[in-house]
Copies of this chain bind each other. A is one copy, B any other.
């Protein structure tokens, strides 16, 4: 692992890192020492580790919750190399979504291209982060919606170190079997008028989750309209389960 000393602002240190070829960012409270809960944050499709939503939540979770927070670029996103097939499918996805056509098959194809690699990346990054003095081997949470949920579900199902997850904006039937293997507490976010995920499919994916402790939060609005109070609620959810 290569970890830069980073920059400080508003009581939060932001440190870029790489684990093998995976670029990431770690946020911790200023002057943090010793073990603390760690939240891994998965970005959405077409986004990257420092997308505005990731950045705002990460800084808030570190400053207000005292958490360590980390994000990585998933394959073919951010600073990682592009991939010809991925880029072709992603361009087709954007074109179809823009005119309101069904994107389910493309969604599944894009997911299959990156899922195996992403789960392995997150596991390696988690192991490296937990060796740091100011992170340590404390309880771990995962936060990711949309593509961040599609990739976070198999990671959460496979990785016993993850003890709670905020997921959602996702309803792909290809994830149902994976969802059933998740048993940790889950907060599942649904946008009631999501133009990319049919409502029935999103509700079915919540239904498929194996967790006894799972809560659906649904709000009016489209895929990108998640209200400001949901990240605030997520912070309390993680504090309850990891704090």
Q: Which residues of A contact B (CB under 8 A)?
A: 190, 192, 203, 206-207, 212-220, 227, 229, 233, 240
Contact = CB atoms under 8 A, between A and B. Distances in A.
A99 to B, nearest CB: 26
A212 B220 CA distance: 7
Number of this chain's copies in the complex? 2
A218 B240 contact: no
Contacts of A203: 203
The secondary-structure label for the interface of chain A is mixed
Contact of A217 (B212, B216, B240): B216
A129 to B, nearest CB: 29
A183 to B, nearest CB: 13
Given A192-B207, A240-B229, A218 B220 contact: no
6 contacts: A192-B207, A192-B216, A206-B218, A214-B220, A216-B217, A216-B218
Most buried by B among A206, A214, A218, A240: A218
Contacts of A192: 207, 216
Contacts of A218: 206, 215-216, 218
Contacts of A215: 217-219, 227
Contacts of A216: 190, 192, 216-219
B214 A217 contact: no
Contacts of A240: 229
